[in-house]
Amino acid sequence: MTEQDQRTETAPSSETAPNAETVLRAEAMLTPDGVVTDAELAFDADGRITYAGPARPASVVTHELAGRVLMPGLVNGHTHSAMTLLRGVSDDEGFMPWLAAVQSLEQHLTHEDVAVGLQLAMVEMIETGTTAFADMYHWDAELIELVRSAGMRVLAAPASFSPEIVGFPSVSPWNGADATDETEALAERYANDPQIRIAYGPHAPYTCPPEFLSDIARRAVERGIPIHTHISESAAEVEQILERYGATPGDHLESVGLFEASVLAAHCVHITDREIELFARTGTAVSHNPVSNLKLGNGIARLPELMDAGIRLTLGTDSVASNNSLDLFEEIKTGTILHRGARQDAAIVRAADVIDIATSRGAEAIGFPETGALEPGRLADVIALDVTGSAATPFDPASLVSHLGFGATGADVREVFIGGRHVYADGAHTTLDAAAIRDRATAARHRLSEAAAAATD
């Protein structure tokens, strides 16, 4: 029996009747206006929030969530989902040796591997409270349909490197030119889908030739399709671009016209004051990935300066090959305390700001502005966390932001609704067969390891 079967047998559906409201009652709730205690959230059959505030005596409550708190679903602003199969590869190496180790396994990935890696990532993301994510890897309609079926939202960017290079030879015959054309076809196909956004995915300025980047920038402007790329992730990358083009990565990308389009830039660890001003002026969004940046020894991005400049921000995990976890609560805590320690200033970054980056600001940055906050009119992307455990005791609802910023973990998530759809109910998946996916992922990783070992013999 799958988790979905168990859910059907043991608990009532949130869809009690046509056009009926779903009403959640919880200990507390995080809203744009602050913390509400003895809280109630209601949304209609279209998954749109109709009420968010103190409990109303006359409400017909469909989900009584005693011992739980509500907050917006988390937004992962940068990851490579299929790389869940590469978790734990080269954990103690620097960026370039790590990249080489990862690529040695990636060359043996099949399309089925990418599919199960994506599904495993969605299992983990839903379990830890993520409802939307921005992803760069191989993407096609078959993979996107897996996301739609699971109920999540995605900004999917098919990765590309140059017009001639085939990025994932054992997955797809697409070269960079093909990936660019397919990106446009996918954008047209999913133009009105509330769960799906499509972006071009030129990997980085050190892997993509200028002419290719310039062509993508032109097409992005013409078609209104955003661009998702890596910028200044490592000091080695910056040095390489300086030697090759006589400019920093940001300045180089400006020269090829990239920032005339809408850009989501991942990492941005080693950027200059001028590049920060450039990003602010062009409306470029930045995905801050603190744990990945630290694990790979790449440094600490300048989050306080990015915030002061009014940069559009989101919070990301990067892949589990460079992080090991897709738990955004770990990113929230690390992203808050990291800069306090580095700057020796406990007030320089507040937990409330980083939570906002992981929810409302992140949702806007990756193309889902109707989500990200619990207020009437927004779509009901909402998660419920248990606050009865030891790490939450004693729980003071007035200190909810403090708990979410410093004490909560993804393991506390018990309920997940996306657009009103109940995809995780009392710790059980309703749209994914998690046990079967984990088994398939384990077998796939074993096969990849054997194939990589055979190739080196």
With 0-12 CB in 10 A as exposed, 13-18 as middle and 19+ as buried, what is 235?
A: middle
Cis before 12? omega within 30: no
User: Please, which residues bridge with residue 312 across strands?
Assistant: 285
Confidence of residue 95 (pLDDT cuts 50, 70, 90): confident
C-alpha 51 chain-centroid distance: 27
* CA contacts within 13 A on the Cβ side of 274: 7
What value, to the nearest 5°, has the Cα angle with vertex 218 and ends 212 and 224?
125
Residue tagged 């196909």 (tokens): 189
3 state DSSP class of 174:
coil
Chain segment 40-80, per-residue pLDDT in tens: 999 999 999 999 999 999 999 999 999 999 999 999 999 99
Q: Is the pLDDT of residue 13 over 70?
A: no
Residue range 432-449: mean pLDDT, rounded? 94
C-alpha to C-alpha distance for 404 and 418, rounded to whole angstroms: 20
Sign of CA dihedral 378, 334, 340, 311: negative
pTM (two decimals): 0.94
Give the dihedral of Cα atoms 199, 331, 64, 53; nearest 10 deg: -80
Q: Is the pLDDT of residue 232 over 80?
A: yes
Q: What share of the chain in percent tops pLDDT 90?
A: 88
